[in-house]
């Protein structure tokens, strides 16, 4: 959206034949404001990254981290090496939908009201990251799901993960495996 507007504006300048167009390519170093027409790629900072020790009974793992950026960006995908897990996905915890889909719960539960804390998780396509606002991926919220772990995540180990952002590109981090949040 933004780039389209910029393109339109540039086109307007060109059709008017203004000589000031040349200023766009030359000096963009002086300004302290963030309204530059052609901003550099956002500076992404990842902190507090960790993955939970995975019980032997599951082949799924979860990783958490906090993302800060100095310009709006979008987390598009996450990836880990095939030696760690078959796939990494961005997940979000959401309330279980209040519908009849829970009819298959165990026999004998007499209650009619649903446990309001019932949550499920779903894959999300992307997460917008806003400048100056920390985006926390944490238990009970957004998280990174590792699908089909090759082997359990053991406390004390670590693995590499690559976050791909729309503007900033790829950011590689090392994720330590911990029993609980750092
Ligand atoms: Cu998940």
What's the pLDDT score for residue 107?
A: 42
Pair 121, 96: CB distance under 8 Å: no
CA distance 5 to 110: 58
What's the pLDDT score for residue 61?
A: 96
* Radius of gyration from C-alpha coordinates of the chain: 22
Cα–ligand 1 centroid distance for 171 (angstroms): 21
Domain-embedded: residue 88: yes
Quote the DSSP letter at residue 152.
Answer: -
* Domain interval for residue 165: 44-97+118-178
Cα–ligand 1 centroid distance for 145 (angstroms): 5
Cα–ligand 1 centroid distance for 101 (angstroms): 20
**Structure tokens that stand for 63 in this block:** 């990783």
pTM of the model: 0.69
Domain-embedded: residue 142: yes
Give the residue among 64, 51, 76, 79 at the shortest CA–CA distance from 135: 64
Pair 46, 138: CB distance under 8 Å: no
Domain-embedded: residue 126: yes
Cα–ligand 1 centroid distance for 6 (angstroms): 38
Cα–ligand 1 centroid distance for 139 (angstroms): 9
Cα–ligand 1 centroid distance for 110 (angstroms): 29
Specify the number of domains making up the chain.
1
**Which SS3 state, helix, strand or coil, does residue 128 take?**
strand
Pair 51, 157: CB distance under 8 Å: no
CB atoms within 5 A of ion ligand 1 belong to: 91, 121, 145
CATH code (residue 52): 2.60.40.1890
Tens of pLDDT, residue by residue, the chain (182 residues): 444 444 444 444 344 443 344 344 444 444 455 555 677 899 999 999 999 999 888 999 999 999 999 999 999 999 999 999 999 999 999 998 765 444 444 444 444 445 557 899 999 999 999 999 999 999 999 999 999 999 999 999 999 999 999 999 999 999 999 999 99
Tally Cβ neighbours within 10 Å of residue 40. 11
CA distance 135 to 54: 24
Cα–ligand 1 centroid distance for 62 (angstroms): 7
Cα–ligand 1 centroid distance for 1 (angstroms): 30
């Amino acid at each position: 959206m933004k780039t389209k507007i910029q393109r339109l504006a540039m086109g307007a300048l060109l059709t008017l034949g203004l000589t000031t167009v040349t200023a766009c390519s030359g000096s963009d170093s002086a300004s302290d404001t963030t309204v530059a027409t052609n901003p550099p790629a956002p500076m992404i900072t990842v902190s507090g990254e960790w993955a939970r020790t995975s019980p032997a009974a599951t082949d799924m793992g979860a990783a958490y981290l906090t993302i800060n950026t100095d310009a709006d960006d979008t987390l598009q995908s996450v990836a880990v090496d095939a030696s760690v897990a078959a796939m990494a996905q961005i997940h979000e915890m959401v309330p279980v939908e209040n519908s009849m889909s829970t009819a298959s719960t165990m026999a004998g539960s007499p209650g009619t009201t649903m446990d309001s804390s019932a949550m499920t998780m779903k894959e999300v396509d992307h997460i917008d990251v806003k400048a100056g606002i920390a985006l926390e991926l944490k238990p009970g919220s957004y998280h990174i799901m590792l699908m089909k772990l090759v082997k359990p995540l053991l406390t004390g180990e670590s693995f590499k993960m690559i976050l791909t952002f729309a503007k900033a590109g790829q950011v590689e981090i090392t994720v330590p495996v911990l029993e609980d949040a750092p």
